[in-house]
Structure 1
Amino acid sequence: MAIVNPADLSASLLTVVNTVVAGRDGTPVTIGDVALERPRNRDHGDWASNIAMKIAKALRANPRELATQIAEALTSVEGVASVDVAGPGFINITLDAAAAGALAKTIVEADTAYGTGDLYTGVTVNIEFVSANPTGPIHIGGTRWAAVGDSLARIFTAEGAVVTREYYFNDHGAQIDRFARSLLASYLGEPAPEDGYGGEYISDIAARVIADYPGELSTIPTREEVQEVFRSTGVELMFGDIRASLHEFGVDFDVYFHENELHESGAVERAVARLRDLGHIYEADGATWLRTTDFGDDKDRVVIKSDGEAAYISGDLAYYLNKRERGFERNIILLGADHHGYVQRLMAMTAAFGDEPYYNLEILIGQLVNLVRDGEPLRMSKRAGTVVTMEDLVEAVGVDAARYSLVRSSIDTEVDIDLDLLTRRTNDNPVFYVQYAHARTGAVARNAADSGVGREVFDAGLLTHETESILLGTLAEFPRIVRQAAELREPHRVARYAEELAGTYHRWYDNCRVTPLGDEEVSDVHRTRLWLNDATGIVLRNALALLGVSAPERM
Structure 2
Amino acid sequence: MSPEALSVLIYEIAQELVSSEMAGSLTRDLIPPAEKIAVMRPKDRAHGDWATNIAMQLAKKAGMKPRDLAELFAKELPKSEGVKSVEVAGPGFINITLDSASSAAVVDAVLAAGDSFGFNDHLAGKTLNLEFVSANPTGPIHIGGTRWAAVGDSMARVLEANGANVVREYYFNDHGEQINRFAKSLVAAWAGEETPADGYKGAYIEEITERVVKEAAADGVDLNALERVDGGVDKDGNPLGEGDSELREEFRKRAVPMMFDEIQKSMKEFRVNFDVWFHENSLYQDGEVTRAIEELRQRGDIFEKDGATWFASTKHGDDKDRVIIKSNGEYAYFAADIAYYWNKRHRTVNPADTAIYMLGADHHGYIGRMMAMCAAFGDKPGENMQILIGQLVNVMKDGKPVRMSKRAGNVVTLEDLVEAVGVDAARYSLARTDYNQSVDIDLNLLASHTNENPLYYVQYAHARSCNVDRNAAAAGVTTEGADLALLDTEADGDLLAALAQYPSMLSQAGDGREPHRVAHYLEDLAGRYHKWYAAERVVPMALTDAEQALPEADRKVLEIAKNPEPARAAARLKLNDAAKQVIANGLALLAVTAPEKM
Task: Sort the TM-score into its range (normalised by shorter chain).
Answer: over 0.9
Residue aligning to 1:257: 278
2:47 pairs, out of 37, 41, 44, with: 44
2:220 corresponds to which residue?
215
- 334 and 280 in structure 1: CA distance in 2 versus 1, 3 angstrom threshold: same
For residue 103 of structure 1, what is the aligned residue in structure 2?
Answer: 106
Alpha carbons of structure 1 residues 241 and 87: separation in structure 2 relative to 1, 3 Å = same
1:35 to 33, 38, 47: 38
- Aligned equivalent of 1:530, options 567, 573, 579: 573
Find the residue that maps to 1:256 and give its secondary structure.
strand
Greater shift, 314-323 or 480-489, is seen at: 480-489
SS in 1 for 2:35: helix
Deviates more, 1:207-216 or 1:386-395: 207-216
Task: Confirm or deny: 8 A CA contact 2:395 2:442 kept in the other structure.
Answer: yes
**What is aligned with 2:261?**
240
Give the alignment partner of residue 303 of structure 1, picking from 321, 324, 330: 324
For 1:225-267, what per-residue CA distance to the aligned partner results, in whole angstroms no more than 9, with x for missing partners? 2221210110000000011011111111100100001111111
Q: Deviations over 1:295-320 (max 9, x none)?
A: 22111111111111111111111001
Query: Does the alignment pair 1:188 with 2:185?
Result: no
1:339 partnered with 2:360: no
Could you tell me how far apart the structure 2 residues matched to 1:367 and 1:52 are?
Answer: 39
Alignment of 1:7-18 (within 5 A): 7-18=4-15
The one-letter amino acid paired with 1:99 is S
Q: Secondary structure at the match of 1:155?
A: helix
Structure 1 letter corresponding to 2:112: E
* 2:127 corresponding residue in structure 1: 124
For residue 372 of structure 1, what is the amino acid of its counterpart?
Answer: M
TM-score (normalizing by structure 1): 0.97
- Residue identity matched to 2:437: T
Shift of 1:17: 2.0
1:379 lines up with 2:403 in the alignment: yes
Query: Are the structure 2 counterparts of residues 43 and 522 from structure 1 closer, same or farther at C-alpha, using a change threshold of 3 Å?
Result: closer
Residues 346-388 of structure 1 deviation map (CA, whole Å, 9 limit, x = unaligned)? 1111111111111111111111111111111110111001111
Give the aligned partner of residue 249 of structure 2: 228
Matches within 5 A, 1:139-538: 139-213=142-216, 214-218=219-223, 220-223=225-228, 224-326=245-347, 327-518=351-542, 520=563, 523-538=566-581
Q: 109-118 or 500-509, which moves further after superposition? A: 109-118
Pick the structure with greater CA Rg.
Answer: 2
SS of the equivalent of 1:75 reads helix
1:208 partner amino acid: R
How large is the RMSD of aligned CA atoms in angstroms? 1.5
DSSP 3-state at the match of 1:362 = strand
d(CA) in 2 for partners of 1:330, 1:60: 40
Counterpart of 2:27 in structure 1 is: 26
Residue 411 of structure 1: CA displacement?
1.1
Output the CA distance in 2 between the equivalents of 1:526 and 1:486.
36
AA aligned to 2:11 is L
Q: Is the 8 A contact 1:178 1:197 kept in 2?
A: yes
Query: 1:280: Cα distance to partner?
Result: 1.2
Closer/same/farther in 2, CA of residues 360 and 144 from structure 1, 3 Å limit: same
AA paired with 1:160?
A: G
Amino acid at match of 1:27: R
Match of 1:545 in 2: 588
More displaced stretch, 19-28 vs 115-124: 19-28
Answer whether contact 1:33 1:51 (CA < 8 A) is retained: no
Q: TM-score, normalised by structure 2?
A: 0.90
Deviation string, structure 1 residues 47-66 (Cα, Å, up to 9, x no partner): 11122233344444443322
* 8 Å CA contact 2:303, 2:310 repeated in 1: yes
- 1:521 is displaced (CA, Å) by 7.6
Secondary structure of the structure 1 residue equivalent to 2:113: helix
Secondary structure at the residue paired with 1:92? strand
| Post-superposition offset of 1:444 | 0.4
The separation in 1 between residues aligned to 2:439 and 2:62, in whole angstroms, is 47
Q: In the TM superposition, what whole-angstrom CA distance separates every residue of 1:399-425 from its partner, at most 9, and x where no partner exists?
A: 000111111111122111111111111
User: Which whole-Å CA distance do the structure 2 matches of 1:39 and 1:57 have between them?
Assistant: 24
- Contact persistence 1:281–1:290 (CA under 8 A): yes
Retained in 1: the 8 A contact 2:183–2:248? yes
Helix, strand or coil at the partner of 1:276: helix
Aligned in 2, Cα 1:215/1:82: closer, same or farther, shift over 3 Å? same
Which residue identity is paired with 2:28? Answer: T
Specify the SS of the correspondent of 1:132: coil
The one-letter amino acid of 2:458's match is: V
Residue 494 of structure 1 aligns with an amino acid whose one-letter code is V
Judge conservation of contact 2:7–2:35 (CA < 8 Å) in 1: no
Superposed CA deviations along residues 265-295 of structure 1, whole A, max 9, x for unmatched, are 1111111111111111111111111111122
Q: What is the CA–CA distance in structure 2 between the aligned matches of 1:458 and 1:150, rounded to whole Å?
A: 39
SS of equivalent residue, structure 1 residue 370: strand
Q: Distance in 2 between matches of 1:377 and 1:105?
A: 48
The DSSP-based 3-state class of the residue aligned with 2:79 is: coil
Kindly indicate whether the alpha-carbon contact (under 8 Å) linking 1:452 and 1:522 is maintained by their aligned counterparts in 2. Answer: no
CA distance in 2 between counterparts of 1:42 and 1:365 reads 38
Kindly tell me: are residues 506 and 521 of structure 1, through their superposed partners in 2, closer, same or farther at Cα, counting changes over 3 Å? closer
Name the residue aligned to 2:240. Answer: none
Secondary structure at the aligned position of 2:388 is classed as: strand
Give the residue type in structure 2 aligned to 1:90: F
Q: Tell me how far apart the structure 2 counterparts of residues 429 and 553 of structure 1 sit (CA, whole Å).
A: 18
Deviations 1:68-96 (A, max 9, x none): 21221111101100111223332211101
Q: Which letter does structure 2 place at the counterpart of 1:42?
A: R
CA shift, 1:27, in A, is 3.0
Instruction: Report the Cα distance in structure 2 between the residues aligned to 1:6 and 1:414, rounded to whole angstroms.
Output: 33
What is the CA distance between 1:23 and its match in structure 2? Answer: 5.8
What displacement does 1:467 show? 0.7
Q: Which residue of 1 aligns with 2:56?
A: 53
CA distance in 2 between partners of 1:338 and 1:218 (Å)? 38
CA distance in 2 between partners of 1:267 and 1:162 (Å): 25
Over residues 107-155 of structure 1, what are the superposed CA-to-partner deviations in whole Å (9 max), with x where a residue is unaligned? 1111111121233122110111000000000000110010000110010
Deviation at 1:189, TM superposition (A): 2.1
Equivalent residue letter for 1:393: L
Equivalent AA in structure 2 for residue 257 of structure 1: F
Unaligned runs of 5+ in 1: none
Identify the range of structure 1 (14-23 vs 317-326) with the bigger mean alpha-carbon deviation: 14-23
Q: 1:21 is paired with a residue of what secondary structure?
A: helix
* Aligned position for 1:136: 139
Question: Following the alignment from structure 2 to structure 1, what is the Cα–Cα distance between the partners of residues 198 and 14?
Answer: 67
Residue 261 of structure 1 aligns to a residue whose secondary structure is helix
Amino acid at match of 2:505: I
C-alpha distance in 1, partners of 2:346/2:287? 15
Mapped to 1, the partners of 2:203 and 2:266 lie a distance apart of 16
Partners of 1:20 and 1:248 in 2: CA distance: 57
